[in-house]
């Protein structure tokens, strides 16, 4: 490859121990987690201690020739700000780490101020988790908008995953109108296998909005590798907003319980539906510009023993 690959959506944690909607999520052995009432394979089974560390991810990245990654967060993993602060300080050229506040209950604005003060350049909101059993937290609430205005002022990026379809698209339109300079990355490729996914993609018609594909192999898991339906969806999204608004993301490590890390993007490289220039933009160049990565490492291809 003669260009750099950047992963726009990955996760790191030392352990999981949290609750979502009153249901427990907790790290077990052999890569498994107790997840909302059932045992799920959260990590590949060889990650026996449940520690999803930066060093293990870097080994995967180096092997797969991925130069840098955006580390996002999710409430199902618990807040990982303390660990991610260490990661971003230790590996500034390899990782852009998102801080996260618990927006499910009021009073989080001071925490957002604290995270920004510590140097986090992005804040994550798992907005699909704001549809609570005891009421909905709106993205346009007074405290949320106050946080977004601060982020716009401080040039802090918003990483957001939305609920299925168009449910929260109207709220996002209000945020974009109120904070037109706020950079926004919308995750999970608009929940591409759900009805009305295109409405989330259309948000990228706004200048400062991008779409990243973290979890696209999970969403097309029933089809499985080489995920031709995912490539068709990427092309459809490009027809709506332009390929320059779209970015690859792996949703590491959850997706690599089913496939390898390299497989999470090489279905793009091997596709005959995208041009070389489209692949270059989608796999790295768009993310390099949007996330402002510099000093990207060049990683050699290492042959497998089976080659």
**What would the pLDDT profile of 274-301 be if each residue is shown by its tens digit?**
999 999 999 999 999 999 999 999 999 9
Q: Is residue 93 in a domain?
A: yes
Number of domains comprising the chain: 1
Q: Is residue 13 in a domain?
A: no
Percent of the chain with pLDDT over 70: 99
Q: Is residue 270 in a domain?
A: yes
* Residues whose CB is less than 8 angstroms from the CB of residue 300 and which lie 6 or more positions away in sequence, other chains included: 65
Q: Which domain holds residue 146?
A: 53-291
CATH of the domain at 108: 3.20.20.140
DSSP code at position 33: E
Q: Is residue 259 in a domain?
A: yes
Residue 22 has pLDDT above 80, yes or no: yes
**What would the pLDDT profile of 229-273 be if each residue is shown by its tens digit?**
999 999 999 999 999 999 999 999 999 989 999 999 999 999 999
Q: Is residue 47 in a domain?
A: no
Q: Is residue 21 in a domain?
A: no
Confidence band, pLDDT 50/70/90 cuts, at residue 21: confident
Q: Is residue 24 in a domain?
A: no
Span 54-66, average pLDDT = 97
* Residues whose CB is less than 8 angstroms from the CB of residue 148 and which lie 6 or more positions away in sequence, other chains included: 158, 175, 178, 179, 182
- Name the phi and psi angles at 8, rounded to 5: -90, 5
């Amino acid at each position: 490859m003669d260009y750099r690959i950047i992963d726009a959506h990955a996760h790191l944690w030392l352990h999981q121990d949290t609750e979502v909607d009153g249901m427990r999520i907790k790290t077990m052995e052999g890569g498994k987690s107790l997840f909302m009432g059932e045992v799920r394979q959260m990590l590949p089974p060889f990650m026996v201690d449940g520690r999803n560390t930066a060093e293990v991810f870097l080994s995967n990245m180096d092997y797969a020739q991925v130069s840098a990654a955006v580390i996002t967060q999710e409430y199902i993993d618990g807040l990982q700000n303390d660990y991610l602060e260490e990661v971003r300080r230790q590996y500034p050229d390899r990782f852009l780490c998102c801080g996260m506040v618990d927006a499910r209950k009021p009073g989080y604005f001071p925490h957002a101020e604290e995270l920004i003060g510590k140097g986090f350049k992005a804040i994550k909101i798992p907005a699909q988790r704001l549809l609570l059993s005891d009421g909905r937290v709106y993205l346009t609430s007074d405290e949320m908008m106050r946080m977004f205005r601060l982020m716009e002022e401080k040039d802090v990026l918003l990483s957001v995953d939305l609920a299925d379809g168009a449910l929260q698209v109207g709220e996002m339109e209000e945020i974009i109108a109120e904070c037109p300079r706020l950079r926004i990355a919308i995750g999970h490729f608009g929940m591409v296998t759900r009805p009305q996914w295109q409405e989330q993609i259309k948000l990228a018609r706004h200048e400062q909005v991008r779409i990243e594909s973290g979890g696209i192999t999970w969403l097309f898991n029933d089809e499985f590798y080489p995920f031709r339906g995912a490539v068709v969806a990427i092309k459809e999204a490009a027809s709506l907003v332009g390929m320059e608004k779209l970015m690859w993301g792996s949703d590491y490590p959850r997706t690599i319980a089913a496939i390898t890390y390299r497989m999470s993007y090489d279905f793009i490289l091997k596709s005959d539906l995208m041009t070389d220039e489209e692949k270059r933009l989608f796999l790295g160049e768009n993310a390099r510009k949007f996330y402002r990565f510099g000093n990207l490492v060049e990683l050699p291809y290492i042959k497998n023993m089976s080659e």
